[in-house]
Amino acid sequence: MKFWVGVTDNAWFNFLSKLKPDEVNFWQPGGNVSFGTLKPGESFLFKLHSPLNYIVGGGFFVRHSYLPLSLSWEAFERKNGAIDFESFRSRIIHFRGRSEPDPMIGCIILTNPFFFPEKEWIPIPKDWAPNIVRGKTYDTEKETGNMLWSMVQDRLVKSKELVELCAKNAEGVSEGVVLYGSEFLTRARIGQGAFRVLVTEAYERRCAISGERTLHVLESAHIKPYSLSGPHSVNNGILLRSDLHKLFDLGYLTITGDYHVEISKRIKEEYNNGREYYALHGRHLINLPRNNSDSPAKTFIEWHNENIYVP
């Protein structure tokens, strides 16, 4: 098993270790730095800046994405490691060395983060070079990686907090089942921020109905709301322009099992308007995920038609 040890902003770690969120955005201030090191479910460990040469926690990799700073805050808020938007923006500007209205930043999204108490911090391996800026990959098939992961695993097993978090966020977990790594991620419920990013990327940043590509007006809609036990899964989501999202949530608009648009007659009855929306009636969705398993699931569509949409 491969895992990554990433050099971590100390203030980011200190803030989040107190917050203890269900997901975090391990951001990169530059908007042009790729991250293809991990596969979904693999582990990302936090190493503090020197002279605090310790591994102090980690999380499980979900996705890497490039987002405008403002959308990163909308998706993750304090899970970005800052108390408010202005504090977050100031830190990005500090690291970039220049002020921009809404710069693109790299977002490494991690679920089920864990934070070791200081007495459990792990000294960095002897092969860690002082000039490492971003991080380093380790492999449990090799001696150093195996020793390091064994120490991490030992702390995870002893972490009552992590076990409780995993038990709360996973389905069908029984005693004795591994509560971390790729096996756990297949059961874990991703957070709201990760849901938003995964749906956005699955639809290639394009509205399913209108084809709109302006990222700031695109929103990841739940088909069955999370507040009503709808999961944060991509097949329970659809990327919509913000006005279409609002109509969808209020039951003025829906989609059929064969992915056609239906518009309620209530728009005309209640507002004597809606010509632009009625022009969409009967249209097949012009944009769906390339991966069929990410397309809206029929069960969620049926639920929306039966419980939210009013013809």
Instruction: Read off the pLDDT of residues 229-267 as tens digits, 9 standing for 90 and up.
Output: 999 999 999 999 999 999 999 999 999 999 999 999 999
Is the model's pLDDT at 171 over the cut of 70? no
CATH fold of the domain at 2-173: 2.30.130
DSSP 287: -
Closest to 188 measured CA to CA, from 109, 121, 295, 115 = 109
Q: Which residues of 250-271 are buried (b: 16+ CB within 10 A; e: fewer)?
A: ebbbbbeeebebbbbeebeeee
The 10s digit of each residue's pLDDT in 199-239 is 999 999 999 999 999 999 999 999 999 999 999 999 999 99
Mean pLDDT of 291-299: 97
Cβ atoms of 95 and 29 within 8 Å: the answer is: yes
Helix (H, G, I), strand (E, B) or coil at 7: strand
Cβ atoms of 191 and 111 within 8 Å: the answer is: yes
- Band the pLDDT of 188: cuts 50, 70, 90: low
- Pairwise CA distance, residues 130 & 50, whole Å: 8
Q: How many helices (DSSP H) and strands (DSSP E) are in the chain?
A: 11, 11
- Pairwise CA distance, residues 32 & 308, whole Å: 41
pLDDT of residue 176: 47
The 10s digit of each residue's pLDDT in 9-62 is 999 999 999 999 999 999 999 877 778 889 888 899 999 999 999 999 999 999
pLDDT of residue 175: 44
CB under 8 Å to 210, separation ≥6 — which residues? 241, 244, 280, 286
- Band the pLDDT of 190: cuts 50, 70, 90: confident
Domain ranges within the chain, ordered by starting residue: 2-173, 203-307
Closest to 134 measured CA to CA, from 59, 25, 29 = 29
- What are residue 310's phi and psi, to 5 degrees? -120, 115
In whole numbers, what is the pLDDT of the chain averaged over residues?
91
Look at 121-135, 173-187, 206-220 and tell me which has the smallest mean pLDDT.
173-187
- Band the pLDDT of 1: cuts 50, 70, 90: confident
pLDDT of residue 173: 40
Write out the H or E segment, with its range, that includes residue 6: strand 2-8
Residue ranges in the chain assigned as alpha helix (H) = 10-19, 69-76, 85-96, 143-158, 160-169, 182-185, 192-202, 242-250, 266-271, 275-278, 298-307
- Pairwise CA distance, residues 261 & 193, whole Å: 27
Closest to 205 measured CA to CA, from 240, 156, 229, 176 = 240
